[in-house]
Amino acid sequence: MKQAFILLFAVWVLSPGCGTHRGDQDNGVSPNTLTQAEKDAGWQLLFDGGTLKGWKALGLDSIPQAYWRVEEGTIHKVAREKVRPLPDGTMPPTCDLMTADTFLNFELSFEWKISPAGNSGIKYNVSEKMSTAGGGTHALGFEYQIIDDTGYPEKLEPWQKTAALYALVPSRGAQPNAAGKWNSGRIVLKGNHGEHWLNGKKVVEYELGTPRFDSLFQHSKYHIHPHFAEKRYGHIVLQDHSDDVWFRNLKILKIQ
């Protein structure tokens, strides 16, 4: 009987289902690394855990380190209220952070956590040229919304909540972890098909170029940008909003 119990316990501990990653759980894999299976499949790290190599400022010549810091294996977007003014009393210039490379069809995997009442996002299908027209430093692109749904001080529309395709497609059944806890996210863009995932669950699905999507676009704030919804080789962008947000385990797989 004792031997049978030990055997059953060992099977339970070693079962592949144990340690499946869901947001803040530890899956036994060091952050910002690729497993051998991921390497074999063609995944690439977008963040090495120690530097911003492969990233650049959108619309500025250099990354403003007052706002974007690498800390304890994360990319930390620092809240603006924590940034000190320059000697002349002005605030340092701020910008979104974007990949130097562009991607057309891909699967993006990442982890994030937001400060209480915080708001941010990950953008994709971003044209730097379109975004910086007129001197802008913030991206125009599809946005995976990151926000504290319960603590945000204003009433949120469905298309403003966590993992929504911001301003376009609400998330369905999204269950984010509390502010300050890690969440896992995933974005899939293949052809005209797009998906958003949160903590292992698909919560957004859309098709570019369909009457439904065209209608959503025309009724959104983006309708003034006629090329916004066009598919392109685009940058991946971490949004510079006003609040603290952290990112890690940013991985991408180019797909056909």
pLDDT single digits (tens) 167-200: 999 999 999 999 999 999 999 999 999 999 999 9
Give the pLDDT of residue 134.
Answer: 84
Q: Which tokens belong to 29?
A: 């894999």
Question: Is the pLDDT at 29 greater than 60, yes or no?
Answer: yes
Give the pLDDT of residue 1.
Answer: 44
Fold (topology level) of 39-254: Jelly Rolls (2.60.120)
Among 63, 64, 66, which Cα is nearest to 84's?
66
Q: Which tokens belong to 77?
A: 């977007």
Torsion of Cα atoms, 97 then 101 then 106 then 108, to 10°: -30
Q: How confident is the model at residue 19 (pLDDT cuts 50, 70, 90)?
A: very low
Q: pLDDT tens-digit profile of 40-86?
A: 999 999 999 999 999 999 999 999 999 999 999 999 999 999 999 99
Q: Which tokens belong to 10?
A: 């060992």
Is the pTM for the entire model greater than 0.85? yes
Q: How far apart are CA 202 and CA 100, in angstroms?
A: 28
For residues 94-111, one letter each, b for 16 or more C-beta atoms within 10 angstroms of the residue's C-beta and e for the rest, the string is bbbbbbeebbeebbbbbb
- Summarize the confidence of residues 229-240 as an average pLDDT: 98
**Tokens 């797909």, residue?**
255
Question: Is the pLDDT at 17 greater than 80, yes or no?
Answer: no
Q: How confident is the model at residue 27 (pLDDT cuts 50, 70, 90)?
A: low
**Tokens 């911003």, residue?**
52
The full 3-state SS of the chain, as one line of letters, equals CHHHHHHHHHHHHHCCCCCCCCCCCCCCCCCCCCCHHHHHHCCEECCCCCCCCCEEECCCCCCCCCCEEEECCEEEECCHHHCCCCCCCCCCCCCCEEECCCECCEEEEEEEEECCCCEEEEEEEECHHHHHCCCCCCCCCEEEEEECCCCCCCCCCHHHCCCCECCCECCCCCCCCCCCCCEEEEEEEECCEEEEEECCEEEEEEECCCHHHHHHHHCCHHHHCCCCCCCCCEEEEECCCCCCEEEEEEEEEECC
Q: How confident is the model at residue 15 (pLDDT cuts 50, 70, 90)?
A: very low
Decide: 204 and 165 in contact? Cβ < 8 Å. Answer: yes
Q: How far apart are CA 60 and CA 43, in angstroms?
A: 29
